[in-house]
Structure 1
Amino acid sequence: MNFSVIARVLGLLMMIFSFTLVPPMIVSWVYQDGTLSAFLYALLITFGIGFLVWLPVHNHRQELKTRDGFIITVLFWLVLAFSGSVPLYLAEQANLSYTDAFFESLSGWTTTGATVITGLDELPKSILWYRQQLQWLGGMGIIVLAVAVLPMLGIGGMQLFRAETPGPVKDSKLTPRITETAKALWYIYLSLTIACAAAYWFAGMTLFDAIGHSFSTVAIGGFSTHDASLGYFNSPTIEAIAMIFMLISVLNFGLHFYAWKNKSIVHYFLDSEFKFIFSIMLGGAALTVSALWLTDTYTLSNSVRNGLFQLVSIATTTGFSTVGFAEWPVFLPVLLFMMAFIGGCAGSTGGGMKVIRVLLIYKQGIREIRRLIHPNAIIPVKINKRTVNDRVLESVWGFFSVYILTYMVMMVALLATGLDHVTAFSAVGACLNNLGPGLGEVAAHYGNISDVAKWILSITMLLGRLEIFTFLVLMSPAFWRN
């Protein structure tokens, strides 16, 4: 373990992050909303601490090892959350305790979308911009952004990419060099953001709202500049645009890269994960719309409109809302909430367990049933017509087991703080899946739960964002042995 190199990287990244506070400072200056000093002080504090960490070790230039990558990944997400909380805490207009400021910051960075803030419509524009920007930066992962910058600073980034990239297959690269891979991902991400903002603007949003909501849409984050979320606009066109970009962003960005490179979309329809997620979406849509209409919750047209939007929003782990889905009848709130457990595709901005893992578990289950019928048969599990190594299947089942165990531990911890069963169950699921809205007391916001519960859920958000193992590996004594 090379702690000097780790400190150098963290210091550099803190200094780089401090400059992301310039855009909200500009917004504050344009709108004269009184928060300029809070963002300025936060910039100076973050840059100053980063500089002090970097200065003593700035001459240490060694290649990162795999274990160094895991440490930097976990530590930097913590550093980001603490750094991101500073302007929220310093801004008097936000009126947040430090616990609330940290929770809001981490929720933004992890693209969870769980908020403790109410009265968004009255907040300064700079704070609203900042919240949306946090989600945009966290969407593709600040570490992926860093690996495009670190090579210019004399630091290799492959270890960071392995630690940060979501999904069970972490070694596949879109281009031969990791730097080019990171740049390709960000070009696609930026292009989608610009296209989404333009579509929102043409659909009737103000330019400020269009940019802000494009940040959280492409990031699969769910933060909004209004308390009523996208329901504030009451526009079927805006909701349709949001659904399109949520569905695009929940797909593997590797598919988008190949579509851009080869000028073709045929490979989408040949991809097993793509076909699986859309079959789930179609089945969930049929159930949701039918249940809303048959229970006379809405007319048929409104059942289609509200049902489809909320299904896509929750199933993709975005968390936008136009109506209160937690109040829907029969099984619908639980159905939508359970679909968030599946989450997005590997290599996407979505949360959850990831579609590829659920698909592999399903295929493995089918194989075990067939083995009972034909004990001596050799039955391979295939994805995209390629046989999946049993080691991958073992890792998927290991992840699923640890995921369920983590869920149980966090839920019991929340119940110990005095929350009811529905609230505790949904809050842990919403944070572990990086979804945001839950049921019960956290259906609208998380502002009324205790500080202890917020810190427990903060850990849960971090576990979900790092897909559990990246965080838990640091708890293993074997990790620290030479």
Structure 2
Amino acid sequence: MNLVLVGRIVGIYALIFGVTLVGPVLVGLWYREAEVVHFLWPMVGSLAGGAFLWLIGRRHARELSVGDGYLVVALFWVLLSILGAWPLMNGFGLSPVDALFESTSGITTTGATVIAGLDSMPRSLLFYRQQLQWFGGMGLIVLGVAVMPMLGIGGMQLYRAEAPGPLKEEKLTPRLTQTARALWMIYFTLTLACAGGYWLAGMTPFDAVSHSLSTVSTGGFSTHDASMGHFASPAVEAVAVVFMLLAAINFGVHYLVWLDRNPLHYLRDTEARTFLGFVLGMVLLVGLILYVEGPYDQVHASLRDAAFEVVSIVTSTGFGTVDFAHWPDFLPLLLIYISFVGGCGGSTAGGMKVLRVLLMVKQGAQEVRQLIHPHAILPLRLGRRIVDPRLARSVWGFFALYTFAVATLTLLMIHAGLAPLDAFSAVATCLNNLGPGLGEVALTFQTVSDTGKLLGVVAMLLGRLEILTILVILSPAFWRR
């Protein structure tokens, strides 16, 4: 284990985080807010600590092993959650546990919150929350991968440890640095387009930029307590739905669309096609039930709310126009269930990812066919591609760990004081990086005990790093390498 090199890389990320605090400082200066002082000490502390760690390891060997990559990623997300809590304690006056919960929720793009009264908050602090989600959406790890080769450090091990989805070996371009830069270019372009769409739909420039940061990152933080319901605008909701869907599709598909100037790639890609079909089916089902059993007199009104909430939940964004926890029949629980599916691999969305769910469904169907034709050779296919059996096994292993994490954390949440259904939804919303839940956690985690909030922090980190990275670090075998 190359701990000196690990410290050096973590130091680089601390430096990057310190530089990002310039954003809320500039916003505060623009609006002449005294609250900019709350960012100065965290900025100085991050830059000084990062510089110290970098200087210690600046002459060290530059080889980064697989184990080093996992350790750097785990330490980075924990460190960033702690550093991100610093301005929140100063600016919002939050307790250390509340600040850590809010910071982790932001950087993991979960969107669960312990803060109320957002409409009266200083804009610099509001922008800081949105910015946390934007950097966490694509991952500062990927940003670092684009930068670190300039410093003589390879980043493939970091990319494998942090990239979402089961196909971590695939790159958009032959060189990893080009891949990272292509990802960030797509991400930045989508953010600009989303901000422009919101502005044209009637948002103020500040709200448009702020909400674009949390839409493309599928984070869900808002600058208003009523979230997207504050605007009561079909145009705003339409922009949000379009960009939540785009953010939840594999960025590799976006890259192909841009490269070939051909949007048909969205339909040719098996995972993207399945995702869009699943969303459409859920919208129609939820809209129909709302029209039949809910307080809607017109189909288009029920479909409008169904479309927004289904897309918001399945993409793990968590914006709201209505409180779906009070919807009729089984709809509240259904929406929590579909949050486990999540978006596509290689996107900013949370959940288990559509590709994994699709592979499990296909393998289940294959097992049934194998029982009917025991001597037949039936390879598992994804489109025209034959799936490696090792990938199928890894998907089922991931599902087993995910299920175990849900069960264990739910029991612990009940022990922390939540009712069983509230505990399950709290774990689901944190582990799937969703945000809103049911019951006590439908809108905020304010009333949850400190123990419950710390469990939420653990669940959010497990969900953002897809469980395996954290479990690798906790394994005794990892430290005996």
> Which TM-score band (shorter chain)?
over 0.9
Matches within 5 A, 1:174-323: 174-300=172-298, 301-323=300-322
Q: Distance in 2 between matches of 1:16 and 1:277?
A: 34
Identity %: 52
Instruction: Name the counterpart of 1:70.
Output: 70
Matches within 5 A, 1:49-448: 49-91=49-91, 94-300=92-298, 301-448=300-447
Q: Distance in 2 between matches of 1:211 and 1:467?
A: 29
RMSD: 0.9
Instruction: Name the counterpart of 2:453.
Output: 454
Q: Distance in 2 between matches of 1:157 and 1:54?
A: 16
> How far apart are 1:285 and its partner, in Å?
1.0
Given that residues 118 and 126 in structure 2 are in contact (C-alpha distance below 8 angstroms), is that contact kept between their aligned partners in structure 1?
yes
> How far apart are 1:139 and its partner, in Å?
0.5
- The TM-score normalised by the length of structure 2 is 0.99
Segments of 5+ residues of structure 2 without an aligned counterpart are none
Which deviates the most, 170-179 or 53-62? 53-62
Matches within 5 A, 1:11-26: 11-26=11-26
Given that residues 294 and 328 in structure 2 are in contact (C-alpha distance below 8 angstroms), is that contact kept between their aligned partners in structure 1?
no
Q: Distance in 2 between matches of 1:277 and 1:320?
A: 19
Instruction: Name the counterpart of 2:464.
Output: 465
Given that residues 14 and 46 in structure 1 are in contact (C-alpha distance below 8 angstroms), is that contact kept between their aligned partners in structure 2?
yes
> How far apart are 1:131 and its partner, in Å?
0.3
Q: Distance in 2 between matches of 1:118 and 1:134?
A: 18
Amino acid across the alignment from 1:53 = L
Q: Secondary structure at the match of 1:35?
A: helix
- The TM-score normalised by the length of structure 1 is 0.98
Segments of 5+ residues of structure 1 without an aligned counterpart are none
Q: Distance in 1 between matches of 2:50 and 2:365?
A: 52
Q: Distance in 1 between matches of 2:38 and 2:280?
A: 47
Q: Distance in 1 between matches of 2:468 and 2:297?
A: 45
Count residues in correspondence: 480
Given that residues 108 and 135 in structure 1 are in contact (C-alpha distance below 8 angstroms), is that contact kept between their aligned partners in structure 2?
yes
Q: Distance in 2 between matches of 1:234 and 1:83?
A: 35
Given that residues 66 and 157 in structure 2 are in contact (C-alpha distance below 8 angstroms), is that contact kept between their aligned partners in structure 1?
yes
> How far apart are 1:267 and its partner, in Å?
2.2
CA shift digits 1:45-71 (9 cap, x unpaired) = 111121222222221141211110000
Q: Distance in 2 between matches of 1:113 and 1:61?
A: 39
Given that residues 6 and 68 in structure 2 are in contact (C-alpha distance below 8 angstroms), is that contact kept between their aligned partners in structure 1?
yes
Amino acid across the alignment from 1:291 = I
Given that residues 189 and 218 in structure 1 are in contact (C-alpha distance below 8 angstroms), is that contact kept between their aligned partners in structure 2?
yes
Q: Distance in 1 between matches of 2:61 and 2:152?
A: 7
CA shift digits 1:264-322 (9 cap, x unpaired) = 12222121111211221121111100011001421222101111111111111110000
